[in-house]
Amino acid sequence: MIDAPGEFRLDVVDLSGLGEEEREAEARRLIREDAARPFDLAAGPLLRAKLLRLGAGEHVALVNMHHIVSDGWSQGVLIREIGALYAANVAGRPSPLAELPIQYADYALWQREWLQGEALARQVEYWKDRLSGAPAALALPTDRPRPAVQSFRGAVLPFGLSAELSSGLVDLSRRSGATLYMVLLAAFSVLLGRYSGQEDIVVGSPIAGRRRAELEGLIGFFVNTLVLRTDLSGAPRFGELVGRVKEAALGAYAHQDLPFEKLVEELQPVRDLSRQPLFQVSFALQNVPQETLELPGLQLSHAGGSAVTSKFDLSLHVFESGDELHGIVEYATDLFDGGTIARLIGHFRTLLEGIVAAPESPISELPLLSAAERHRLLVEWNATAAAYPREKCVHELFAAQAARTPEAVAVVFEDRQLSYGELDRRSNQLAHHLRGLGVGPETVVGLCVERSLEMVVGLLGILKAGGAYLPLDPRYPRERLAYMLADACCLVVVTQAGLTAQLPQHEGAVVCLDAAWAEIARQPASAPASGAGPDNLAYVIYTSGSTGKPKGVMVRHGGVTNYLDYASTTYAVAAPSRALVSTPLSFDATLTSLIVPLVSGQPTRLLPDNEELDALGAMLRAGDNFGLLKVTPTHLDVLKQTMPVSTFAEQRCAVVIGGEALMADTVQLWRQHAPQTRFFNE
C-alpha cells in the first residue's frame, strides 16, 4: 500500500526563549518523547520530522522513520539525498537526483512472484533441516526473573576495541579464509556458550538483502533476519569453530530470501510472550559506509540520543571505523543491569584478546576473566583462612566456657534452667556412664528425646564420652527409626522413659535420662578422657529420604569447631539477650542456635515441641528480646501471617536463615519492617 504524494510539513518547536540549561533539558525531553511515540501503521505517516529551534543559529533536526519502511542502509541513502537536494535548493538549482530505475513496489512484486512453488520449497526445506532440534531458548543468567510478557524496555552500552586488537582480528580472519564477521560471530558464540552452559547456540543476524545494484539507491525495508546455529560440541579449537561458523553462514546466505516471518510461520515454535521465537540474541557487523551530512553554510554534528527499547534479550552490534572496531550492546533492562552488561563486554574483549594471541586453543581454554577478576576470584574471595582452635572438640569448647562462667545461665526450658556449671557436671556424669557401656571415639549413640534440658545434657554427655550423637526424632515412624539405628550401627540409645515404647527393637543398651538419673548421678562430676580428636565423628544426621533411602551424613569435630568459631563471631549474640531453639535436633540447622551460644557464654531458650512459632510470637509480642534465631524461610512466612511484622521493628537480633531458597520479596519485607535485625542467608 503506497501513499499518494502529498505535502510534507516540518514541525518547528521554538525553545529559544528558555534559559540555556532549561533549553537543553527540554530539547532532550522532546527527543526522548518523539523516539517513544508510536506510529500508526494503518493511517501513517511512517516518517515524521521536527525542528527544535534553540537559538538564531542553533537548531536540532529530528527525523524518525518506522523500521517497516526503512533499514540501516536506507539511512545512508536518506542522508545522501537530503544533502544533494539542500545544496541544489540553496543554489536555486533543480533536483539533481535521477529517476529511480525501480521502486520498492517492484521489489515486493518480484519477491511475491519468485518466492513460491519449488523456489519456496527449497528455502523452507533448508531452514527446517538446519534448525531441526535447535533449543527453544538461550539460558543466559539474568539479574531478574523473566517477565511473563516482554516489555521491550532497553538500554545501550557502547564499547571500543584497540587498534592493535582490531588489526589482529582482521589478520586472523584473512589467515582463516573467513570474513571478519565470521570470526566475530564465532567468538560471540563462545561467549554465549560459556555464559549459558549450552553447546548449541542460536543467534539472529540481519542481512542487507540488496543483492542487485538497482536496489542500492532505494529507501525501504530490504533487510532480512537469518537464524545462525553454532555447534560448540566436541571441544573444538577456535580455528575449527570458525570453519563451522563459515559453513553455517554460507549456507544461510544461499538461502537468505525466505522472510523471517515466513520461517516462523513454517516452523511454528511454541508461542511464548516472554521471549522472541527461534532466537533471543542477535549479532551484526555493520560495515556499510557511514554517510556524513554536509550542507552549505551549516556546521553539523550528530546529536545522538539514548535507546529506550531492546528488540531482543541482547544485541551485539560491531562497527568498522578506520583502524578500530567499536560497538554497542543493546539489552533488555527487564533482565539485565548495566553493570552486568559492562562485565559481559569486558569478558568479550578478554576473549578476543585470547583468540588473537592463541587462535588454535581449544575454546574451553580461551580466557574470559580479566587479570583483576581472576585475582578477585582466586585470591580475594578465596582468602578464607582463619585461625580457630583446630585441635579442640565441640565438648571441649563448651567445657572451657563453663569454667569461665560457671554461674551464668546456660539453657532454659519453660520454668526450668541449668547454669553452665550444672550443665557441665551433669553431662560429665552421663559421659562416665556411657563410657562404662563401651562408648568411645567413632561410636554412634542414638539420642531420642523431646526438646528439654535433658536433650542438651544427653548431647553433651555423648560428645564428652567420645561418641557421636545421632538425633532420632520421636515423631518419626518406627520404620524410619529402625532403619537409622541399624544403618548407623548404634551401640546405645539415650532417651526418656516416656519414649521407650515408641522406639523399635534395638539390640544395644537403652539409657533413660529421667528413670536412670539416680544411678547416673553417682558418677564423677569431672570430665572423663574422651579420647576423641578433631578427626573423630561429632554427630551423624540423616537426610529426608526424598530422593530414595535416607542417607547418613557423618560430621567431624574439626568441621563443627571451624563453623562454631565463624558463627560465634559473625552472629555475635549480644548480652543479655538469648538464643532461641525452635527447630528439631534432627534438623542440622539447630546446631547454630543451640551450640553457638553454649560455646559463647550466652543462654539458650528451648521452645516447646509443636508450639515453637506460637511461643516465639508470644515472646515477640511481649517485647522479649533475643539475640539469635535459626529458621527457614517458611517460618518467616508463617510469622508474617500470624503476627504484625512491626513486632520485629525494635529487635536487635541475628536471624540466620537456611534449609530452603530465600526469595527476594521476603528479604525486602523484613528489611523494611525489621531494620534493626540482621538477616544472614546460610
Q: What is the pLDDT of residue 573?
A: 57
Q: Which pTM was predicted?
A: 0.69
Dmax (CA) for the chain in angstroms is 120
Model confidence at 588, pLDDT cuts 50, 70, 90, reads confident
DSSP-assigned letter for residue 513: T
| Segment 130-158 mean pLDDT | 94
The tens digit of pLDDT for each residue in 418-438 reads: 999 999 999 999 999 999 999
Where is average pLDDT lowest: 72-81, 199-208, 336-345? 72-81
324 in Cβ contact with 163 (< 8 Å)? yes
Q: How far apart are alpha carbons 440 and 165 in whole angstroms? A: 67
The tens digit of pLDDT for each residue in 600-646 reads: 998 999 988 877 777 777 776 666 677 888 888 888 888 777 777 67
Q: How far apart are alpha carbons 252 and 592 in whole angstroms? A: 60
| CB environment 387-407: b (16+ within 10 A), e (fewer) | eebeebbbbbbbbebbeeeee
Domains and CATH numbers, the chain: 11-90 (3.30.559.10), 105-289+305-371 (3.30.559.30), 378-558 (3.40.50.980), 571-682 (3.40.50.980)
| CB environment 319-350: b (16+ within 10 A), e (fewer) | bbeeeebebbbbbbbbbbeeebbeebbbbbbb
Where is average pLDDT lowest: 52-56, 229-233, 641-645, 669-673? 641-645
132, amino acid identity? S
Phi-psi region at 161: left, alpha or beta (left = phi > 0; alpha = psi -120 to 50)? beta
Q: What is the pLDDT of residue 418?
A: 97
Model confidence at 290, pLDDT cuts 50, 70, 90, reads low
Q: How far apart are alpha carbons 661 and 638 in whole angstroms? A: 15
The tens digit of pLDDT for each residue in 498-515 reads: 999 989 988 889 999 999
The tens digit of pLDDT for each residue in 147-182 reads: 999 999 999 999 999 999 999 999 999 999 999 999
Helix, strand, coil percentages (3-state) for the chain, rounded to 5, are 40, 20, 40
355 in Cβ contact with 180 (< 8 Å)? no
